[in-house]
């Protein structure tokens, strides 16, 4: 058994775990107090859901396609901070405010995410933080 090792954060004390876990923080994104941008564990990187905000944490203007692109760019920043890339992403979860936006979100997604594309789930969520229309999270190989 090994212990947790947080990266770029002294917010939480070390606690025993069955695997080594590292928090990943991007200096290009605002850190929500309650989350890490990503956590590395057992050869995987679990990226927290990203919403359409700029590097100051302000909502970006535009439609669901512009918002999707911002979410994907935010995830790319986190992947970069974790020394990874979209080529190593194995799973993506997309949460939509309205499933009627699926085709427009998918159009932006396929232009942004390289082939072969990762496994993906897309659902309509009951309500997203700050009433955003899209949130995207991912899992990548370290």
Catalytic residues: 122
Cα-based distances in Å from 57 to 28, 41, 51, 85? 10, 27, 9, 22
Nearest to 117 by CA among 77, 80, 71, 86: 86
HSE-up of residue 118 (Cα within 13 Å, Cβ side): 21
Beta-strand relationship, 119-124 and 89-96:
parallel
Tokens matching residue 103: 């085709």
């Amino acid at each position: 058994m090994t212990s947790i090792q947080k990266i770029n954060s002294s917010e939480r004390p070390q606690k025993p775990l069955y695997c080594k876990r590292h928090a990943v923080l991007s200096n290009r994104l605002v850190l929500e107090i309650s989350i890490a941008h990503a956590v590395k564990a057992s050869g995987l990187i679990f990226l927290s859901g990203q919403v359409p905000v700029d590097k100051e944490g302000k909502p970006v203007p535009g439609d669901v396609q512009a918002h999707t692109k911002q979410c994907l760019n935010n995830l790319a920043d986190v992947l970069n901070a974790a020394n990874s890339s979209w080529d190593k992403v194995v799973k993506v979860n997309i949460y939509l405010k309205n499933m009627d936006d699926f085709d427009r979100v998918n159009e932006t997604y396929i232009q942004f995410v390289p082939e072969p594309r990762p496994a993906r789930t897309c659902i309509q969520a009951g309500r997203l933080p700050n009433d955003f229309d899209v949130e995207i999270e991912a899992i990548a190989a370290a």
